[in-house]
Amino acid sequence: MATVLQDDIFQLVREPINVAALARQVRAPKDGATVTFDGFVRNQSHDRPTLYLDYEAYESMAVAKMQEIGAQIHEKYRIHCVAMVHRLGRLEIGETSVFIAISAPHRAAAFEACRFAIDTLKRTVPIWKKEYFEDGAVWADGELPPAPVATPRAKPAS
């Protein structure tokens, strides 16, 4: 497996994420594109008004998993640098909860790598979200695997 580059950034933070600074940090003269994903708190979930969110993590394992994702990205795509930052604690509506920036010489690799990064983070990194509503709170379910493709039924043996 490829190693994570020294310029890569993998962090869990409790303060607001500075998305502009992170996007600038991954950019280099050899790059031709930076693709970012800015996941932020929306004001509703499952047709219920959301008041705020609270994120918790198994922090040492979460950072290690984020670094593993970074190594996979470097192995799979021709990219230059990765920044992956997730916020913990209470977040209000509109605040960034997760930010990913990926720079690459060409846009296709940056787009594909960024999609892989957020999808893999949501599936594998031990970070949990609690959603607060006027009438209570619930822990949000994780990402569900894709539904299996329907296949024709086999005919019974005769």
Q: Name the one residue in this structure whose structure tokens are 């800015």.
A: 38
Task: Answer for the pair 35, 114: CB distance below 8 angstroms, yes or no.
Answer: yes
Q: Which two tokens stand for residue 142?
A: 């994780």
With vertex at residue 134, the alpha carbon angle to CA 128 and CA 138, rounded to the nearest 5 degrees, is: 25
pLDDT at 151: 54
In the chain (158 residues long), the average pLDDT of successive 10-residue segments reads 72 98 96 97 91 96 97 97 98 98 97 98 96 89 50 57
Q: What is the DSSP letter of 140?
A: P
Neighbours of 55 (CB within 10 A): 20
d(CA 107, CA 114): 11
pLDDT at 1: 45
pLDDT at 158: 53
d(CA 41, CA 29): 33
d(CA 115, CA 124): 14
* Closest among 120, 30, 38 to 75, alpha carbons compared: 120
pTM of the model: 0.85
pLDDT at 140: 85
pLDDT at 156: 57
Strands 44-45 and 33-40: unpaired
